[in-house]
Structure 1
Amino acid sequence: MQPPAGYTKAKPGDVCLLRRSLYGLKQASRQWNTEFCSKLLAYGFTQSVHDHCLFTKHTDSSSLFLLVYVDDVLVTGSNPEDIKLLKHHLDSLFTIKDLGEAKYFLGLELARTGDGIYLNQRKYIIDILKDAGLLGCKPASTPFPQGLKLVHDSGSPLSQPDQYRRLVGRLLYLNLTRPDISFCVQQLSQFVNSPCVDHWNAALHLLKYLKGCPSKGLFYAANNPCSLKAYSDADWAACLDTRKSITGFCIFLGDSLISWKAKKQTTVSKSSAEAEYRALSSTVCELQWITYIAHDLQLQIPLPIPLLCDNQAALHIVANPVFHERTKHLDIDCHIVRNQFKSGLINPLKVSSSLQLADLFTKSLGVGVFLKMISKLGMVDLHHGPT
């Protein structure tokens, strides 16, 4: 570090010895995280090995939970006095700014009542629409037109691809509270390297949908039962460029949606049963992780966890390993589904395709089916869109 301008005491060739971490330096965030974690551990917290941002402290009479994102911290617990003591301790160490009960955190808006907590990103969406100049546009009924599938080299290349990349990046963060756009964001994010006009038009259509429901978000009931349920689905050979399938799943804690994903599979599946089986594997991995986090929070999750799939052949593969011709080419990691079935973690069940909620994460649906699906995801809208 060179001496700052105006500092005359430094001799030619002298440099500054850095004693504290400064913003902007490459090692700053790492040093801050190391220091903050060491203080929390000294206070009696335990850092989760499954999510290093989560710290827990359990005693016979109370529990404390702390979630860290760089220098922003969320604290909750069963005893308000313990929370006050923790904040006083942190203030004596780092001079923190206490913002009271969480209402706005990293773009997430939180509304709390006796019935539960409502999460949305209304302000974040309004900012996106304002930057795109679409605050006065006509809203769309669905994120994508029904059956839309994007491909590479679709139309002429964009003259300003950075604009597309910046928009997709913001939409990825918006996916934190908007499972209804998860599939569309997954599709758009495939073309950030070389976006075309058709990709940009699809992104604008998604913004028009958000214009009609900017305050739609997730509601978590206070009296929610502590039981998990998962839906898993796949759209076989959905990618027209690579013929890879799309995995989609959603996981509920009671009636509240807590995890979801739409992602292209890494390999080409030879059949729809194989694609569904790979989707089951991804869902089981997520369920395992959630049970580990629940253990850190000292939550008792009833086992086995219902895992609903609408493909009977995939369920047969889980229950019967004799399908040699169909399964001999599958990777070992796919068989985590059968292993966890035998251990009692999951209970694979058949569900009708019309009731398969994970269908929302694998394809663009029509208006009627789409509205029916998102209503079952626990999404609510407390406001109307801007006019």
Structure 2
Amino acid sequence: MYCEQPSGFMDTSRPGFVCRLNKSLYGLKQAPRAWYSKFASHLLSLGFQEAKSDTSLFVFHRGADTVYLLLYVDDIVLTASSQQLLRRTIDALQREFAMKDLGKLHHFLGMQVQRSNGGLLLMQHQYILDILERAGMSECNPCSTPVDTSPKLSGVTGDPVKDAIDFHSLASALQYLTFTWLDISYAVQQICLHMHDPREPHLATLKRILRYICGTLHLGLHLRPSTQCDLVVYSDAN
């Protein structure tokens, strides 16, 4: 692979020369874009449609046959309304791309999947342990709620945090955790509102969230089949 001499690093004596890359760059944007374009085009040719709510989700629906395909770079989650349809879809993809069927879903992007007769349990147990270790709170004392209801973060003053980059990293990691830890969504949103100027009270709030998830490692999001199609909403406001 060759590339033009980047701006600021031009060899003035040899301006017409190009650079040879001895090692591929992981962050090279063109390769993932080209892969996604080719893969998406093939899926569309098979009758899939790109979901409007998520460009990584492709849906095939024809009569009673339904297939869902979720794509993340080169990792794929695939499910279908029947085993025969699932097998045909995998075969169609393997004829075009070098792919390996890893069997039933157990782990995907930091999420663990546990199967039972009652449905699926989605957990981020290892992901949480990694966050706690990064924060130096693996042995912290747990608390029963993710946020203190007394103080308010809006308008608080305090010293700036010593390491803003570390604060940003932990807050972003907690955002990904809200996919299965829905009860920390509000608390995480509150600290993310102050990413531009994190203060010590914001760090204390972040650590409280970490203490809460430390005490709730066994929890997860349980998905189960249901004949009820009504949307049920709970609120503590009258």
User: Normalising to structure 1: TM-score of the pair?
Assistant: 0.54
- Please say if residues 22 and 28 of structure 1, whose CA atoms lie closer than 8 Å, have aligned partners that are also in contact: no
Residues 55-64 or 203-212, more deviating:
55-64
2:161 corresponds, among 141, 158, 161, to 158
C-alpha displacement at 1:12, in angstroms? 8.7
Q: Residues 39-68 of structure 1, C-alpha deviation per residue, up to 9 Å, x if partnerless?
A: 111122222334332222233452222122
2:108 corresponds, among 99, 105, 108, to 105
- Counterpart residue identity of residue 124, structure 2: Q
2:38 paired residue number: 35
2:93 aligned counterpart, secondary structure: helix
1:301 paired residue number: none
Partner Cα separation in structure 2 for residue 86 and residue 23 of structure 1: 30
Partner Cα separation in structure 2 for residue 43 and residue 229 of structure 1: 33
Alignment of 1:371-386 (within 5 A): none
Relative distance call for 1:122 and 1:359 in structure 2 (3 A) is farther
- Counterpart residue identity of residue 161, structure 2: L
2:192 corresponds, among 189, 195, 204, to 189
Alignment of 1:164-313 (within 5 A): 164-222=167-225, 224-231=226-233
1:129 corresponds, among 129, 132, 149, to 132
C-alpha displacement at 1:188, in angstroms? 0.5
C-alpha displacement at 1:16, in angstroms? 7.9
Relative distance call for 1:73 and 1:138 in structure 2 (3 A) is same
1:93 aligned counterpart, secondary structure: coil
- Counterpart residue identity of residue 90, structure 1: L
- Counterpart residue identity of residue 137, structure 2: L
Q: How many residues were matched structurally?
A: 225
- Counterpart residue identity of residue 83, structure 1: L
2:75 paired residue number: 72
Q: Which has the higher helix share?
A: 1
- Please say if residues 64 and 83 of structure 1, whose CA atoms lie closer than 8 Å, have aligned partners that are also in contact: yes
1:191 aligned counterpart, secondary structure: coil
- Counterpart residue identity of residue 220, structure 2: G
Q: Residues 6-32 of structure 1, C-alpha deviation per residue, up to 9 Å, x if partnerless?
A: xxxxx9935489xxx974322233222
1:349 paired residue number: none
Partner Cα separation in structure 2 for residue 103 and residue 14 of structure 1: 49
- Counterpart residue identity of residue 72, structure 1: D
Partner Cα separation in structure 2 for residue 103 and residue 63 of structure 1: 22
Q: Residues 209-249 of structure 1, C-alpha deviation per residue, up to 9 Å, x if partnerless?
A: 11101131111123x12413143xxxxxxxxxxxxxxxxxx
Relative distance call for 1:152 and 1:31 in structure 2 (3 A) is farther
Relative distance call for 1:148 and 1:70 in structure 2 (3 A) is farther
2:128 aligned counterpart, secondary structure: helix
Q: Residues 311-359 of structure 1, C-alpha deviation per residue, up to 9 Å, x if partnerless?
A: xxxxxxxxxxxxxxxxxxxxxxxxxxxxxxxxxxxxxxxxxxxxxx344
Residues 89-98 or 132-141, more deviating:
89-98
1:13 paired residue number: 16
C-alpha displacement at 1:110, in angstroms? 0.9
1:216 aligned counterpart, secondary structure: coil
2:96 aligned counterpart, secondary structure: helix
Residues 56-65 or 141-150, more deviating:
56-65
1:90 corresponds, among 93, 99, 114, to 93
- Please say if residues 65 and 77 of structure 1, whose CA atoms lie closer than 8 Å, have aligned partners that are also in contact: yes
Partner Cα separation in structure 2 for residue 80 and residue 25 of structure 1: 37
- Please say if residues 121 and 215 of structure 1, whose CA atoms lie closer than 8 Å, have aligned partners that are also in contact: no
- Counterpart residue identity of residue 94, structure 1: F
2:78 aligned counterpart, secondary structure: strand
- Please say if residues 154 and 199 of structure 1, whose CA atoms lie closer than 8 Å, have aligned partners that are also in contact: no
- Counterpart residue identity of residue 225, structure 1: T
2:144 aligned counterpart, secondary structure: coil
Q: Residues 274-293 of structure 1, C-alpha deviation per residue, up to 9 Å, x if partnerless?
A: xxxxxxxxxxxxxxxxxxxx
- Counterpart residue identity of residue 229, structure 2: S
| Structure 1, gaps ≥5 residues long | 4-10, 232-356, 361-387
Q: CA RMSD in A?
A: 2.6
Report the identity percentage. Answer: 36
Relative distance call for 1:50 and 1:207 in structure 2 (3 A) is closer
